[in-house]
Structure 1
Amino acid sequence: MKMKLDVRKITYLVLLGALVSFMINACKRESLTLSTTDDVNITGFLEKNPEKFSLFTQILERSGTKGYLAAYGKYTIFTPDNNAITAWLKELNKTAVDQLSAAELKDIVRFHILPDTVATGKFTDGKLNQITLYGQYLQTGVVFKDGVSSYIINKQALITQSNVRVGNGIIHVIDHVLTPSTKTLAVSIETNSRYSIFTQALKETGFYDSLNYVQSAIPDTTRRFQTVILESDSAIKAAGFSNYAALKAKLSKTGNPQSHADSLWMYVAYHISTGANYTPDIVSSPSLATLVPSEIVTTKLVGTRILLNEDEFNGVIEPGVEVNRTFSNVTTANGVLHESKSFYKIKPRVPTGVYFDISDQPELKLMAAWRVPGQNISLIQNGKFVLSGLRADRIPGRLHLNSTSTLPIGTSDGRSYANRDVIQFSMTTNNTARNIWVELRTPMLVKGKYKVWICYTQNGNGPLSQIGVDVGTTQEQILPNLVDFSQSLTSSGVPTANAALPSADGLMLTNGFKRYMATTADVNQDGVRGIQPISVNNQWSVMVGRLAGVVDIKTTDRHWIRFTTLRGNNDYIMNIDMIHFIPIDDDQNYPRFGTTGAIFKRP
């Protein structure tokens, strides 16, 4: 169907970032009445309009599918008109519908039907959420010509009439017959001359066979599809491998490319993920799990560019590779094929300490009030969290105001935070306007074991919290030590007056506490000293580092850390400054931090 689109509509359908959120909304199923109505059903509508649909009606009759499309239910059917079917028959060197077998026609019909009602308002630049009765996904998008836009299905057929609602579903009229993919991922790769080197790698590692199966052979529908992101011959050659032999010589060290310990096997496995992931699916998740155990490919959308493995570790950007969208979103019989513009493989990494200042968030950095002394920023605006890396149990809009409080150096109560800011959460178990739990997405963590330190400022009404990582997933870990935000460093057994002294470090660490802020006893590499302890009651003890326990990170990725409050009253205040993830064998007391962002290593 051709239609005039306003600027907002065009933006929705063109900009991939907007389309991702649009896709999330598209997951909501329409609520339709299932009771009998006087409306015409699908077959009735087609029979009432023989000048457009007589040939498709013949297909339904010959394939034996006319009956269930006359019954009440919830279907979406993409219906080719007579011109479309005539052109399709000509391509097949046929002149009539009855020259095709009932089985062939049944497959065609099934490929045009979704078992749900999907109006064009749910279309996205990617696959539809519902799979066809044939067992393959349909792609939707928009094409523009002369200021007019048209919905396009599978890059094959334009919708000429949309959203025809009948008693048992929705009809979209299309100008071409949709034909399902018949080539598997393996065959699609092998028959494309761009991928001769990767094809050889597939065959020698054994992945060719595992990508060359028929869907019906996989009873579990969650395993029927796979996604491959591969490099072209030119990209592999640009990386220094003139042919497959050169690639094998570099990567295959065991002499057996089919061994899971062989780097060539891992290289290929790292390019394969389970599920049918089109580009909107890729950018809607921060990472893709691969067939290499515990190894992921991170994803990022920058403008309209999709980047793989462009990661930041402790402030250092590691350049990634770009998805070549021209040769991506290729549907096959058992998955989806994408191409990257450059060569990529698993990056060897070792666990490294991550010192996460939770106010150091990209959305906050864009705000004028970020880290301005005395300014607050609400973390809920327009009924939503402003941070993509924050989620909680309460519905946005009913949450208590969360704010970033930015204070000058050395305020009178001694609460001088790292980078001068702290995030305040209201937590309780008995007030529905407050949170029971909140989660923060961590920076990238390399797989390994870490001690987790919660760095906070003590509050007499602070909650008692249980700390968990990746709660609700297969990698869930609940850390053993409860964190009581009402405790100061004196709970470690060190008197308030001694909390800033280096001599207190050992006792505090033994009892699961540490001082994470730098005093004048600490000097950084630039010769800058930490700040003087505040004179009011020498209150360094209110800046607390508390050990929550050891977490075993199984996958190099960004993870979720959850704070669950365990005690009630009306309004507990949880002031979190930093979270430290320190490898278990590394120094746990250093580095320390200053109010201006300075880092202080062990003297």
Structure 2
Amino acid sequence: MKMTIDKGITTFFMCVLFLVFSCKDAFEDKTFTAYEDLPIAGYLKQHPEKYSMWVEVLEKADLFNTLNIHVVYTHFVPVNEGVQRYLQALNLESVAKMTKEDANYLVRYHLIPGVSIDRGQFQAGAINDLTATDDNLFIEFRSGGLESIYLNGESRFNGFDIKATNGIIHSIDDVLAPLTATVADRLEDPKYSIFRQAVEEAGFLEKLTTVYTEGTDASGNPVQKRFRYTAFVVADETYAKVGIRTFNDLLDYLDVESGSNYSDVENGLHTYIAYHLLDQQRSYADLGQFPEGVRKMNLPTLAAGELIKVSESVDGLVLNEDLASHQAVRFQEANIPCKNGVVHEIDHWMPVFVPEQVPVVWEFTDYPDIAANVTQYRNASLGSQYNKTFALGDLTSITWSAQPETRSNVLTYRNNRSADGIWYTETLNHDHLRVELGESGWIQMKSPTIVRGKYNVKVVWPSTKTSANTGICAFVLDNVMLYSRLVLSNTRTDRVLTQELGTVEFPETTDHTLRILSLDGKLMTLDYIQFDPVE
């Protein structure tokens, strides 16, 4: 697999690589100022009454001068009292007693390179842009307005939007403890003892411990895959409300035979735990990102064919709301951050629920193996266009047959920057797939699980301007021709287009197989397909 990146960001990434992979301050004696304004490190040094101890940390880490270069950063900076509390917790007498490596990692954990994120961009949940340690930080809004906004649930903001010549500073009360706990580690909390035992018995513990896997691509180049999960976790006291006080009680409620093979995919315990897991990170804010005009959606879980319904209520998001009884599952504690995802504690034991039909938006880039292999997956703050090309066999979610079979650059994931016009503003999550199969080639993928019923189907795609009709394709759903000829390009201007493909009726709740045929072999640009319920 090869990743192609526009030449315009080469210099930027060279700078960032110095920051991310080196403890040496590569920019010593190369600081800059603009008129009376100051870069980040310069500003901090000009305010010793608040930030002198963090400046010591920067200098210990050999990163002080790095934060004075003309590369954009968002930096979360703890005040002196917070640094002092951090040192006391570690039994360190001073910053000088820290190791250079620890100081370096600590600074990078508080730093998001390449983007300037102001308070107006904050929303509850994960900040999409990663820190220099490849982690998400989480924003939490508590009652009390601007005085009660927290980072990672542990450090209160005491100042926002301090503008520097090379980015933005947000002042926080306390040092953030670098995130190392996985989803599995969070389940070690004694209050989750029943759920944690169920996770282990059902065979999910290793999965929820995994952060990265290392491997090589077809050319022998090293490849690192990053995994993230969402877990809806039940506390022991919540189980107790329905009479579940032990693991065996849970088995009884699930009608699962004690001592059976709990890790078998057909086992009721395995299904129950899988139903509480998503294979992508979904913070509270992410769960509330509904398509336009939609106020509820069904999310696929790791339990085959089983869906969690997310909907809006007067007091926030709820899960699995029953339309007849109006009973629903609510969040007891949202956005517990993990190194490999996020945990939400819920207020109900949440057995498998059968939701009603809702609009389904099937985004062609919404697959966990794409997310695991893409370093700038859905990054909304790119400085330059990002492309990731996949080879046949790199993905399990998408397969294809190209003409000729040896054809390269068949499938490319593209994430666009804000300067790229409609490719950024009008495509879902700023990304899309670009496919060149050759004449008579095909590409195939499975849909999310869709509740049985009748649906109108439409496809939405970014259409390129060309001098003649190109990107001609056909859509085959579950081996039945859905739409026999669609021209994806247009002769007017780059724009996002929509085409009704027809009406389908699904007799059961399951996923479906879509095959797109390339009739002329030219570029196909694919964003998403939407299924709208027919009453």
TM-score with structure 2 setting the length: 0.58
- Does 150-159 or 90-99 show the bigger shift? 150-159
Q: 2:78 aligns with which of 77, 80, 89?
A: 80
Q: 2:192 aligns with which of 190, 195, 210?
A: 195
Structure 1: runs of 5+ lacking an equivalent: 1-33, 357-394, 396-443, 455-466, 484-546, 558-577, 582-603
* C-alpha displacement of 1:555: 5.6
Do the aligned partners of residues 86 and 161 (structure 1) sit closer, same or farther apart at CA in structure 2, a change above 3 Å counting?
same
Please state whether the residue corresponding to 2:209 is helix, strand or coil.
coil
* C-alpha displacement of 1:159: 2.6
* C-alpha displacement of 1:153: 1.9
Residue 262, structure 1, aligned to residue 262, structure 2:
no
What whole-Å deviation, never above 9, does each CA across 1:339-393 have from its counterpart, x for those lacking one? Answer: 22112222469xx9x899xxxxxxxxxxxxxxxxxxxxxxxxxxxxxxxxxxxxx
Contact between 1:296 and 1:556, CA under 8 Å: does it hold in 2?
Answer: no
Do the aligned partners of residues 167 and 481 (structure 1) sit closer, same or farther apart at CA in structure 2, a change above 3 Å counting?
closer
Residue 335, structure 1, aligned to residue 338, structure 2:
no
Matches within 5 A, 1:207-226: 207-215=204-212, 223-226=226-229
Residue 248, structure 1, aligned to residue 251, structure 2:
yes
Contact between 1:37 and 1:167, CA under 8 Å: does it hold in 2?
Answer: yes
Matches within 5 A, 1:397-416: none
Higher alpha-carbon Rg: 1
Contact between 1:288 and 1:298, CA under 8 Å: does it hold in 2?
Answer: yes
Please tell me the residue identity of whatever aligns with 2:184: A
The answer for the alignment partner of 1:136 in structure 2 is 135
Matches within 5 A, 1:103-182: 103-115=101-113, 116-143=115-142, 149-182=147-180
- Does 89-98 or 340-349 show the bigger shift? 340-349
* C-alpha displacement of 1:170: 0.5
Do the aligned partners of residues 154 and 100 (structure 1) sit closer, same or farther apart at CA in structure 2, a change above 3 Å counting?
same
* C-alpha displacement of 1:103: 1.7
* C-alpha displacement of 1:303: 0.9
What whole-Å deviation, never above 9, does each CA across 1:196-241 have from its counterpart, x for those lacking one? Answer: 1111111111111211234586998874321110222233343454
Contact between 2:51 and 2:78, CA under 8 Å: does it hold in 1?
Answer: yes
The answer for the alignment partner of 1:322 in structure 2 is 329
Please state whether the residue corresponding to 2:309 is helix, strand or coil.
strand
Q: 2:278 aligns with which of 273, 279, 283?
A: 273
Please state whether the residue corresponding to 1:291 is helix, strand or coil.
coil
Contact between 1:305 and 1:322, CA under 8 Å: does it hold in 2?
Answer: no
Please state whether the residue corresponding to 1:322 is helix, strand or coil.
coil
- Separation in 2, partners of 1:355, 1:302: 16
The answer for the alignment partner of 1:496 in structure 2 is none
Please state whether the residue corresponding to 2:194 is helix, strand or coil.
helix
- Does 169-178 or 287-296 show the bigger shift? 287-296
Taking every aligned residue pair, what percent have the same amino acid on both sides? Answer: 27
- Separation in 1, partners of 2:213, 2:169: 28
Structure 2: runs of 5+ lacking an equivalent: 1-14, 16-31, 216-221, 291-296, 360-421, 423-448, 463-474, 485-500, 512-531
The answer for the alignment partner of 1:205 in structure 2 is 202
What whole-Å deviation, never above 9, does each CA across 1:41-62 have from its counterpart, x for those lacking one? Answer: 2122223333432322221122
Q: CA RMSD in A?
A: 4.2
* C-alpha displacement of 1:149: 3.0
Matches within 5 A, 1:384-533: 446-447=451-452, 468=458, 477=477, 480=481
Residue 298, structure 1, aligned to residue 309, structure 2:
yes
- Separation in 1, partners of 2:507, 2:46: 62
- Separation in 1, partners of 2:141, 2:358: 44
Contact between 2:230 and 2:281, CA under 8 Å: does it hold in 1?
Answer: yes
- Separation in 1, partners of 2:316, 2:151: 23
Matches within 5 A, 1:45-84: 45-84=43-82
The answer for the alignment partner of 2:181 in structure 1 is 183
What whole-Å deviation, never above 9, does each CA across 1:387-411 have from its counterpart, x for those lacking one? Answer: xxxxxxxx9xxxxxxxxxxxxxxxx
What whole-Å deviation, never above 9, does each CA across 1:537-585 have from its counterpart, x for those lacking one? Answer: xxxxxxxxxx95645588669xxxxxxxxxxxxxxxxxxxx9758xxxx
Please state whether the residue corresponding to 1:132 is helix, strand or coil.
coil
- Separation in 1, partners of 2:170, 2:159: 6
- Separation in 2, partners of 1:445, 1:210: 25
What whole-Å deviation, never above 9, does each CA across 1:179-198 have from its counterpart, x for those lacking one? Answer: 123322112112x2221111
* C-alpha displacement of 1:333: 2.6
Do the aligned partners of residues 213 and 355 (structure 1) sit closer, same or farther apart at CA in structure 2, a change above 3 Å counting?
closer
* C-alpha displacement of 1:318: 6.3
* C-alpha displacement of 1:306: 2.7
- Separation in 2, partners of 1:555, 1:66: 57
Residue 229, structure 1, aligned to residue 214, structure 2:
no
Contact between 2:147 and 2:158, CA under 8 Å: does it hold in 1?
Answer: no
- Separation in 2, partners of 1:206, 1:334: 17
- Separation in 1, partners of 2:286, 2:131: 18
Please tell me the residue identity of whatever aligns with 1:131: L
* C-alpha displacement of 1:269: 0.7
- Separation in 2, partners of 1:481, 1:55: 65
Contact between 1:225 and 1:275, CA under 8 Å: does it hold in 2?
Answer: yes
- Separation in 1, partners of 2:262, 2:326: 28
The answer for the alignment partner of 1:89 in structure 2 is 87
TM-score with structure 1 setting the length: 0.52
Do the aligned partners of residues 43 and 343 (structure 1) sit closer, same or farther apart at CA in structure 2, a change above 3 Å counting?
same
- Does 62-71 or 215-224 show the bigger shift? 215-224
Contact between 2:476 and 2:483, CA under 8 Å: does it hold in 1?
Answer: no
Do the aligned partners of residues 477 and 471 (structure 1) sit closer, same or farther apart at CA in structure 2, a change above 3 Å counting?
farther
- Separation in 2, partners of 1:251, 1:476: 40
Number of residue pairs matched by the alignment: 357
